[in-house]
Amino acid sequence: MSAARAAHILVTGGAGFIGTNLTQQLLRSGMRVRIYDSLARAGSHGNIAWLQRQFPDRIEFVRGDVRDCAQLGAALDGIDHVFHLAAQVAVTTSLVDPRADFEVNARGTLNLLEAARACPQPPSLVFSSTNKVYGVLPDVQLRRRATRYVPAADALRRQGIGESRRLDFHSPYGCSKGAADQYVLDYARSYGMRSIVLRMSCIYGPHQDGNEDQGWVAHFVRRVLAEQPITIYGDGLQVRDLLFVDDLVAAFECARRNIDTLQGRVFNIGGGVENSASLVEVLQLIERHTGLRVRKNTGSWRVGDQRYYVSDISSFREAAGWQPKVGVEQGIAALCDWFGAQDATTPHRPASVAAVAIRP
């Protein structure tokens, strides 16, 4: 890539929640961005239309599916770097249709890796993986507190789950994302591809069309603002480390800038111990900021649900100099305010979006 021109970035799944926030920042930084998205997920039509309004002359959109090898290969033409975010994202959906989950997450990632490997100058690649590759963590002993579970082991309470944790794929979703995760790492080993894996925890923020299967923080906020009940699966004391999407975007850019030294490595990315919260505690923050009372129903524990997962983010902090800046209370307030400025009770309607045909 010539230093005289802006990097040309491909964002698969770029019309999704994370992709929209990432693309916005890349364009603000002067990058040239091509979005590749099937627009299958709720809210994606509105997101791509919003991006096109914000950057009418600088964004390139290709409506395509990662299962389409020919179209995917064509979309890589002239690309310097890929952020691979396109995925089937819900454990519950994977349980209903594990074959489709595999085709998108595992085979779709392999399609992308092969298309990138075939390029005259293969682009670098950052893959968005998940903490679900570690399974439900059955050996982690927990103590029950008033509003959350806490690990019995002092080291785990202080640091969280590190990358040395044994992989234990759980649910079809865990298997498909885990397989993709390992392919990305192996392409760095076997073919010298400049690729890395970021295993993400609970990401939240603006443009998230959350539901109870995925994107639960946004789902909670929308339901509270609409004065609708929320179903809590389990006891609500399960803990995650929350990462505001602006901090994740910064992590993605750190990964891209340092790809030559980080290639072939995997990092846990989340809010860390300092930004951990239980479902009950998140609802308390939402109540405090909105002044609205949360109405709750309860349901049984769901397959693959971890009672405690908090990322140890020290490896990426040391390797790339990255650290979350937005605390949980600040981030929840920002998300509530963002949804408050929208019509929280009206579902997203498909908007008119312009796609371009990329030919080989």
Q: What residues are annotated to the active site?
A: 173
Angle value at C-alpha 144, between 139 and 148, nearest 5 degrees: 100
Structure tokens at 321: 């100099």
Torsion sign across C-alpha atoms 185, 187, 190, 191: negative
d(CA 305, CA 80): 37
Alpha helices in 76-215 (DSSP H): 91-96, 98-102, 108-117, 154-159, 171-191
Which residues are registered as beta bridge partners of 319? none
Strand pairing of 202-204 and 32-37?
unpaired
Tokens 């021109």 correspond to 5
- In angstroms, rounded to a whole number, what is the distance separating the alpha carbons of residues 146 and 235? 11
Handedness of CA 36, 199, 133, 277 (dihedral sign): negative
Cβ within 8 Å of residue 120, ≥6 positions away: none
DSSP 211: -
Amino acid 190 reads S
End-to-end CA distance of the chain, in Å? 20
d(CA 93, CA 101): 8
